[in-house]
């Protein structure tokens, strides 16, 4: 099968990155921030850095579904950014741990049920 039409094409599959800076001054703020992080994890997002979570999606349509879910759980206060990039773009990211370069995370094989 031609790679251009393969199910997990690097230009069709997407990564969603969610960046957030949420207030934590009060107990209510901390609870809202914790609830938002937990909802991201429950939706398949993993931590990239402390306030950056990411998720692999097999298609743009699948990414749209997860972005809609994020928009439905936005906390009342704080700053949230949602970035969608192709798998090809994600693969060009340079990641360092200290001065040592490390390989970007490879997407796990996911099953899609219809």
pLDDT for 63 beyond 80: yes
pTM assigned to the model: 0.80
Domain that holds residue 48: 7-89
In a domain? residue 20: yes
Per-residue H/E/C for the chain: CCHHHCCCCCCCCEEEEEEEECCCCCHHHHHHHHHHHHHHHHCCCEEEECCEEEEEECCHHHHHHHHHHHHHCCCCCCEEEEEEEEHHHHHCCCEEECCEEECCCCCCCCCCCC
What is the CATH classification number for the domain harbouring 15?
A: 3.30.70.240
In a domain, 56, yes or no: yes
The C-alpha atoms of residue 67 and residue 44 are separated, in whole angstroms, by 12
Q: Using one digit for the tens of pLDDT, what is the confidence trace for 74-106?
A: 999 999 999 999 999 999 999 888 888 887 766
Is 41 part of a structural domain of the chain? Answer: yes
Bridge partners for 18 per DSSP: 53, 82
As given in the structure block, the two tokens for residue 76 are: 């009342």
Contact 15, 82 (CB under 8 A): no
Question: Does residue 113 sit within a domain?
Answer: no
Q: Report how many domains make up the chain.
A: 1
């Amino acid at each position: 099968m031609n790679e251009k039409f393969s199910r997990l094409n690097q230009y069709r599959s997407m990564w969603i990155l969610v960046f957030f800076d949420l207030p934590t001054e009060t107990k209510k703020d901390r609870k809202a921030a914790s609830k938002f992080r937990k909802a991201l994890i429950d939706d398949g997002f993993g931590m990239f850095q402390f306030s950056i979570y990411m998720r692999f999606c097999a298609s743009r349509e699948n990414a749209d579904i997860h972005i809609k879910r994020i928009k439905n759980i936005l906390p009342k206060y704080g700053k949230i950014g949602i970035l969608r990039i192709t798998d090809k773009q994600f693969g060009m990211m340079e990641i360092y741990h200290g001065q040592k370069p490390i390989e970007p995370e490879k997407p796990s094989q996911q099953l899609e049920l219809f």
